Structure 1
Amino acid sequence: MFDVKTVEIEWGGKTLKLETGRIARQADGAVLATYGETVVLCAVTAAKSVKEGQDFFPLTVHYQEKFSAAGRIPGGFFKRERGATEKETLTSRLIDRPVRPLFPEGFYNEINVIAQVLSFDGESEPDIVAMVAASAALTLSGVPFMGPIGAARIGYKDGEYQLNPSMDEVKEGELDLVVAATHDAVMMVESEAKELSEEVMLGAVEFAHAACREVTDAIIKLAEQAAKDPWEMAPQADLSAAKQKLKDLIGADIAAAYKLTDKSARSNALNEARAKAKEAFADATPQDQMAAQKLMKKLEAEIVRGAILKDGSRIDGRTTTQIRPIEAMVGFLPRTHGSALFTRGETQSICTTTLGTKDSEQMIDGLTGLSYESFMLHYNFPPYSVGEVGRFGAPGRREVGHGKLAWRALHPVLPSKDEFPYTIRVLSDITESNGSSSMATVCGGSLSMMDAGVPLKRPVSGIAMGLILEGSEFAVLSDILGDEDHLGDMDFKVAGTSEGITTMQMDIKIAGITREIMAQALAQAKEGRAHILGEMAKALGEVRTELSAHAPRIETIQIDKSKIREVIGTGGKVIREIVAETGAKVDIDDEGLIKISSSDLSQIEAAKNWILGIVEEAEVGKIYNGKVVNLVDFGAFVNFMGGKDGLVHVSEIRNERVEKVADVLSEGQEVKVKVLEIDPRGKVRLSMRVVDQETGEELEDTRPAREPRERGERGDRGERRPRRDGDGGRGRGGDRGGDRGERSGGGGRGRGRPERSEGGEGGGDAGLPDFITGEN
């Protein structure tokens, strides 16, 4: 029934299997890709006709993770997959970016690429499998796709590259790099690195390209068995005459416009030239008018590219390596925890940093289960930043992608949670844009975190590089403008510190980027990053040592895991009481790490002392702050160390005699006490008289010490007598005390209360330990 075709290769220690003909047979192309126990289905459909007047290529890529793939049910109220998550959006972009340039110019048929994760083994991210499946499905579909592409993830640890490392290996390593490439050329690079050198990064790209070739060869083998007939492309009309007409009409105007360094003036001049061209083609057919618009863009590209290659003259008059003027300032927003305004030429970003507690962490529900992210970076691109009227609302795919790129750049230099136990949110609002707003976000985000007191390992700067390539001639451009990005052949972004690269992203619009070009771009980017770091240091050279007065304070305590239950209490009773009484937030994890947070340091200190009082053991001879919690005739019970009580006997309150405890102490009174003794049952004996109640310093004990009595001095126990009421015996209360007093021949040690004692000489202090009665 099924005409199934498969190809298998051993790749990165696992079997990669590509299958078609069994599932989604009504799609133009469908491939089931299996790698280990991860399975991704990708289906491609293409419209057979083009809408009238359409002049763009409507390619849409959707990547979706099915929770059932990992044996999970989605969290939340609806219990089904809904809108795309951030990860799904980023993976959709990861597939889109390398395949889009591989469709021929003039192909405007709508195409849907839908990749769904059906099984997930929990070891490696499924994005690479999805990219391979999408490439294979497009290759089999018959649409004019100039692929296939392969994709690979590369790790780096102990000086060795790793092909498709597991998620744990990526975390432990120094690199997470994804490359997509045809057999001949690299098309896309996306990465996060722990300050690696240009040589290591370039080597990783070459290592990945070799691995991609294995995949493209496997896809070609599958296509030889199952590819559909290729679509016939309509012949392209000869537009040379129309192009020459435009060149004669507005060529000089375009050249003059691109010599204007101000973006607004240049835009106005170009609009005038376009209006002039539109008027010249007013009587032409709609198809010819649309073709003229395309020719206009080509003419602009030729003029700009030619000027750069011929004499190195860029749109704004800079040299190929020159960076636009930079101005940075920090702390200009009074109520934020950290802020920075970063301006480079006509690109500007307001970056703010907000510090929060563990409660502010982002909860992520994905294939690997619930996880929590304590560092967030959000990027916004309002239409006014480019002087336009447009949609203003929820962030789109572009905003999510640019934000994640800046996140990758800054993430490697963040302190560990032990060093800085805060949740960090960086917000970048682009207020002006003319090239590389994502790299402005990196620079502004770094400065705003330093302004907030986040102890970064080193400041991070970023730069966008461009490329003009014509045959064997090329020019690498530093700090590209928006127009240079649109008219160029490469968008290459590099961010890092003085020690190395933290992220690298590259999108290639043409095949043919050589190792020589990439090496020059990396070297030029290194010089540019160093220059930008120097300009940033003028605004703020070092991390602020003090947090903002408006930021919460967090203090951590590590306790033994066996004590966690005591701090939490039955049903959370103890920890709730600590929070309610002190006003501080208290979080405790399974390893015994406690985070106490509040904007009031006194609240943190109170909660900390309370917790330490629960988990620490009192030390004999040590002085503590305490609070009187109960008065009795023979002394006062004092709470100290937060959760421990001890007795200050009436004889230990003052050196002079105290007739009535209530005359000297009151409940709630703050006192300073010294631990005199802890008996085997944990009962604590305290003293106030040997501590200066003002300074907390220990005083010399001037009271003469009592001579300890030998056990024999206390007399014989006497003859045992039968119990009888009113005569001690072993009855309850004072009777027991009286009886034991007679039997011992000395002071009674019965358990009865003194006010109820009726028997024997020892009835007065009956039932109390020796240290309460003052006896030794």
Structure 2
Amino acid sequence: MHISKTIEINGKTLTIETGKMAKQANGAVVVRYGDTMVLVTAVASEDAKESLDFFPLSVEYREKTYSAGKIPGGFIKREGRPSDKEILTARLIDRPIRPLFPDNFNYETQVIANVLSMDKENDPDVLAGLGASAALVISNIPFDGPIATVRVIKSNGEYIVNPNMEKVAEADMELVVAGSDESIMMVEGEAKEVTEAEVLEAIDTAHEAIKKLTVLQRELIAEVTIEKRTADTVELPDGIEEKVKQLSLDKIKDAIKITEKTERRQALKNMKNTVMEALEEEYPESGAVVSNILHDLEKKEVRSMMLEKKKRLDGRGYTDIRPITCEINLLPRAHGSALFTRGQTQALGVTTLGTKADEQIIDALEGESSKKYTLHYNFPPFCTGEAKPIRGVSRREIGHGNLAERALKPILPINDSFPYTIRIVSEVLESNGSSSMATVCAGSLSLMDAGIPVKSAVAGIAMGLIKEDDSIAILSDILGDEDHLGDMDFKVAGTDKGITAVQMDIKISGISRDIMASALDQAREGRIFILGKMNETIDAPRPEISRWAPRIIEWYIPIDKIGGIIGPGGKTIRSIIEKTGVVIDINDDGKVTVASPDVNAVEEAEAIIKSMIEEPEVGKAYKGTVKRVKDFGCFVEFMPGKEGMVHISELELARTNKVSDVVKEGDTIDVIVKAIGNDGKIALSRKMYLKQTEKKAE
């Protein structure tokens, strides 16, 4: 049965329909906004995956090139592995829906969003997030929805929900917000140093739209007849829970008092092994059950310790920041480098400056563009003391790198006045919580070390939350275990003036606006403290860029001169590059960029190019090369690509009968431009130059 529901958002019609496409999926919807359409399907397997300690959910988001009337590039001519944009969008869809599945639902579940049509005005990512919820709520898969996802921006003082892509590019703040009728579940976005109050107002605006979209989904549910599956009930062996508690509780309480991470985890591991061995004979093949009971006991005790004793795992108070050290200029040949250490989290930030040729080309549905600034985040297994196979860049690394990249973007001089391409690499060397925010700090320090004229320093901090009924603990600078056992992960980055990036994931319902406001205020205090520590090491960019960075100069030439500089088949420009060793880039608008680590080479190339477009002046002296010798005179190249003729009568002060007696091909001679004819032919004179020289000598 085909069902369609519509609503107006920001003056445009949004439609959710089901019953036409992908009817064999457990749930399938098409979401349309303008001419952008996304098909989202949800399917759960019939057989459970036993003994899993995680929910087997996978989310895929794919932008089909046909949706924008394009054919994929490359030799194969079909869509390949997902792009960074597709991976980041899949994560945006995954994060708010994952906590809404039952704990014991161990059935492999897959949500797939395919962009079918793209109008280049309305971004399909938030439509895919909305569609994921809609597909799940009308399916037989147990899911505590509906929720909705929207984009909100602040532009010219106005908050706009689901704006067109052009508006987003100009906005002072852009947030993607997901939530239910009652509460917010996810926030992610960037801003140009906005206040905490502005972020909250944007979230409020988004929540009003979210409520309308959840009502729309309930209207859809009302017309769909489906019986929800139930999560499997776990039958615990008789008495096992009590026996595990008797054997472990005191040891758990002792272990969580150990403030050092490695020792604490070893104590918990030893306790677990002891309990397993003690119960192995009485409860064979119950290892997974025992492990889950121990995890729940540990979680309960840690949360109780924090709420009742106001003591955290490493002994800090709620607002305390771990010890911070900062170092710069560690790598002698890197353009900028910094080591930022906060407790047991450490990031090495390295900045490299490049030319326009180093810009990343992005081939997206909305068209091809270039990216002048990138940040790459690497999280090797040794940073947590583990040995694992390294199989390319993970989705997590792409997500964390994107957050840090967005945090630093507002302070960068990404404009025509700074011609460099910027790449930052973060090597996470140690991790015990908040490595993405350590990346922000290390990246900011390395930018200043590289001499890039950034507006100010940026610091990041991860906040956590423990909530039991009315008891609340907001934690600053959370550890990895506090993130895992807590109810919220709230990352905030910014300058001393305001917020530049934010990411919030909430695992429970009932997080009020007041709690978010308190977390933002506490995050600001922590951010200012961290900035103070960073400024003790370096508080302004170095006055000059690194000596190892390329020197770049830019200027404009007349558009009609571009062809002459490039030459037939690029011959002329290649000869300049070979002679000087520089990198040359010429835009269609006449903008010339010359770059090289050798400043002398840059100046030489600049002089050659400028001389090529220079117009010859009558009466001006030039040094030229004899190209051809004729009976009546010789032809001399006195400027790049410019030739003139020296008549035999203009070769010497005295009369000459034979040109070859005076010059031969390849000779370098000084000449003066005698005249330029209407036809563009140039008459040169060596005699005039010799007379001029003779007079000066007198």
| TM-score of the aligned structures, taking structure 1 as reference length | 0.83
| Corresponding residue for residue 341 of structure 1 | 339
| Corresponding residue for residue 569 of structure 2 | 571
| Corresponding residue for residue 350 of structure 1 | 348
Secondary structure of the corresponding residue to residue 106 of structure 2: coil
> Structure 1, residues 601-646: CA drift from partner, whole Å, max 9, x if none?
22222221222223343567878x7454569799997756645456
* Cα distance between partner residues in 2 of 1:616 and 1:416: 31
Secondary structure of the corresponding residue to residue 444 of structure 1: helix
Say whether 1:496 aligns with 2:500.
Answer: no
* Cα distance between partner residues in 1 of 2:651 and 2:533: 66
Q: How many residues align?
A: 695
Shift in Å, 1:381: 1.1
- Rg comparison, structure with higher value: 1
Are 1:139 and 1:227, in contact at CA under 8 Å, matched by a contact in 2? no
Q: Which runs of 5+ in 1 are unaligned?
A: 693-697, 705-776
> Structure 1, residues 106-152: CA drift from partner, whole Å, max 9, x if none?
22111111111111111121111111111100001122100111111
> Structure 1, residues 513-555: CA drift from partner, whole Å, max 9, x if none?
1111111111111121122122222332222233333322222
Alignment of 1:586-605 (within 5 A): 586-605=584-603
Identity of aligned residues (%): 49
| Corresponding residue for residue 367 of structure 1 | 365
Secondary structure of the corresponding residue to residue 107 of structure 2: coil
Say whether 1:257 aligns with 2:255.
Answer: yes
Moved more, 278-287 or 253-262: 278-287
Q: Which residue of 138, 153, 156 corresponds with 2:151?
A: 153
Are 1:628 and 1:666, in contact at CA under 8 Å, matched by a contact in 2? no
Secondary structure of the corresponding residue to residue 337 of structure 2: strand
Are 2:154 and 2:160, in contact at CA under 8 Å, matched by a contact in 1? yes
Specify the code of the residue in structure 1 equivalent to 2:120. G
Secondary structure of the corresponding residue to residue 105 of structure 1: coil
| Corresponding residue for residue 716 of structure 1 | none
1:289/1:568 Cα in 2 relative to 1: closer, same or farther (>3 Å)? Answer: same
> Structure 1, residues 344-370: CA drift from partner, whole Å, max 9, x if none?
110111222222222222223221233
* Cα distance between partner residues in 1 of 2:35 and 2:145: 26
Alignment of 1:251-400 (within 5 A): 251-285=249-283, 288-400=286-398
Shift in Å, 1:578: 2.5
| Corresponding residue for residue 78 of structure 1 | 76
| Corresponding residue for residue 207 of structure 1 | 205
Secondary structure of the corresponding residue to residue 467 of structure 2: strand
| Corresponding residue for residue 60 of structure 2 | 62
Q: Which residue of 615, 636, 644 corresponds with 1:617?
A: 615
* Cα distance between partner residues in 2 of 1:569 and 1:454: 35
| Corresponding residue for residue 762 of structure 1 | none
Q: Which residue of 502, 505, 513 corresponds with 2:503?
A: 505
Are 1:64 and 1:88, in contact at CA under 8 Å, matched by a contact in 2? yes
* Cα distance between partner residues in 1 of 2:395 and 2:20: 33
* Cα distance between partner residues in 2 of 1:269 and 1:687: 94
Are 1:609 and 1:641, in contact at CA under 8 Å, matched by a contact in 2? no
Alignment of 1:53-132 (within 5 A): 53-132=51-130
| Corresponding residue for residue 758 of structure 1 | none
Moved more, 661-670 or 108-117: 661-670
Shift in Å, 1:448: 1.8
* Cα distance between partner residues in 2 of 1:153 and 1:67: 23
Shift in Å, 1:499: 2.0
Alignment of 1:465-480 (within 5 A): 465-480=463-478
* Cα distance between partner residues in 2 of 1:629 and 1:525: 73
Shift in Å, 1:51: 2.7
| Corresponding residue for residue 529 of structure 2 | 531
* Cα distance between partner residues in 2 of 1:439 and 1:126: 28
User: Using CA pairs below 8 Å that are at least 6 residues apart, which structure has the higher relative contact order?
Assistant: 2
Are 1:53 and 1:287, in contact at CA under 8 Å, matched by a contact in 2? no
Alignment of 1:640-655 (within 5 A): 642-644=640-642
Q: Which residue of 442, 445, 451 corresponds with 1:444?
A: 442
1:470/1:636 Cα in 2 relative to 1: closer, same or farther (>3 Å)? Answer: farther
Specify the code of the residue in structure 2 equivalent to 1:432. E
| Corresponding residue for residue 485 of structure 1 | 483
1:637/1:229 Cα in 2 relative to 1: closer, same or farther (>3 Å)? Answer: same
* Cα distance between partner residues in 1 of 2:238 and 2:159: 50
Shift in Å, 1:273: 1.8
Secondary structure of the corresponding residue to residue 541 of structure 1: coil
Q: Which has the higher strand share?
A: 2
Alignment of 1:588-737 (within 5 A): 588-618=586-616, 626-629=623-626, 642-644=640-642
Specify the code of the residue in structure 1 equivalent to 2:190. E
Moved more, 285-294 or 597-606: 285-294
1:356/1:246 Cα in 2 relative to 1: closer, same or farther (>3 Å)? Answer: same
Shift in Å, 1:679: 6.0
Shift in Å, 1:285: 4.0
* Cα distance between partner residues in 1 of 2:593 and 2:261: 50
Specify the code of the residue in structure 2 equivalent to 1:156. K
- Aligned-residue Cα RMSD (Å) equals 3.2
Secondary structure of the corresponding residue to residue 47 of structure 1: strand
Q: Which residue of 422, 425, 433 corresponds with 1:424?
A: 422
Say whether 1:197 aligns with 2:195.
Answer: yes
* Cα distance between partner residues in 2 of 1:275 and 1:26: 46
| Corresponding residue for residue 140 of structure 2 | 142
Q: Which residue of 444, 462, 467 corresponds with 2:460?
A: 462
| Corresponding residue for residue 183 of structure 2 | 185
| Corresponding residue for residue 729 of structure 1 | none
* Cα distance between partner residues in 2 of 1:673 and 1:284: 106
